Amino acid sequence: VAEACRVPDEWIQLARRAAATIGAPLAGVDLLQADDGQVYVLEVNAVPGWRGLAAALEVDIAREVLMFLESSVGFSPREK
């Protein structure tokens, strides 16, 4: 079950580094905190679970992805 939560900035940076390591400008990164507090990257997903993410955050993920593409690579679905 996906639910919104606040994560430490260090986790965000870890997820960004994991995505950058594989060259993914947009990715879902699964993190797991061990009993000793260490945080591990389990996997980097090129196609994250948008439905759960959208429901948990109440955000139109598809719209956010299109906005990201427009701003980062100049892509616009309105242009053909």
Q: What is the pLDDT of residues 1-41, one digit of tens each?
A: 788 889 999 999 999 999 999 999 889 999 999 999 999 99
pLDDT tier at 42 (50, 70, 90 boundaries)?
very high
Computed from CA positions of residues 51, 55, 57, 59, in that sequence, does the dihedral angle turn out positive or negative? Answer: positive
Supply the pLDDT for residue 77: 63
Helix (H) or strand (E) holding 33: strand 28-33
pLDDT of residue 41: 98
Residue 79: HSE in the Cβ half-sphere, 13 Å Cα cutoff: 6
Query: Token pair of 70, please?
Result: 């427009």
What is the Rg, in whole angstroms, of the alpha carbon atoms belonging to the chain? Answer: 14
Determine the pLDDT at residue 53. Answer: 86
pLDDT of residue 75: 64
Asked whether residue 80 carries a pLDDT value surpassing 60, the answer given is no
Q: What is the pTM of this model?
A: 0.77
Nearest to 4 by CA among 38, 52, 47: 52
